[in-house]
Amino acid sequence: MLCEECREKNAVVFLKLAVNNKVKELHLCPACAAKKGMGFGLETGAFNISDIVGNMSGYFKDFLPPEKKTLRCGACGLKYSEFKESGRLGCPKCYAGFEPQLTELMSRIHGASQHAGRVYRGGPALKLSKAETALRLEELRASLKAAVGKEDFEAAARLRDAMKRLEGRHG
């Protein structure tokens, strides 16, 4: 297959993008791919996946609906289309400004928009609402009562300490 740009060399870069139910295919030779900013190291043999993802993001702007092209962060002024090109938000307020779009994006990428896996214990303390704190304290109290009933005082001490940490965090 020949390159769609120069129509002279064989195409070795095949890109197929599907965004918002629109499919676009590109078949390029290494030289034309490099001209379009998709130099994946094909000519040198050095292949970096982050280069591919970063360079492909510019092609997504063609598929954005008009309302997402003009959406801006109220704090830093970053356009949603600029975020789609770079893959980077401009400031912490962008998370709130682009929340519906980011939720949709996370759902498409990860299958869900909320983290459901393990939590890193060495990081900053998890912030819980008062209702969540009360629920966890209730569960810990029930476990503590059961541990004392079984005379498992080591487990009871760990549960007591967990309750103190939780109460100190929100109490």
- Specify whether the CB–CB gap between 9 and 18 falls below 8 A: no
- Reported as a pLDDT band with limits 50, 70 and 90, residue 39 is low
> What does the pLDDT average to over 5-20?
79
pTM of this structure: 0.34
Alpha-helical regions (H) of the chain: 30-35, 49-56, 66-70, 80-86, 93-97, 99-110, 130-149, 153-170
- Reported as a pLDDT band with limits 50, 70 and 90, residue 144 is very high
1: tokens are 């297959």
Burial 73-103 (b: 16+ CB within 10 A, else e): beeeebbbbbbbbeeebbeeebeebbeebbe
Which residues lie closer than 8 Å to 120 by C-beta, 6 or more apart?
none
| pLDDT tens string 99-140 | 888 888 888 887 777 777 776 665 555 677 788 888 889 999
- pLDDT of 149 strictly over 90: yes
- pLDDT of 24 strictly over 50: yes
Separation CA 148–CA 162 (nearest Å): 15
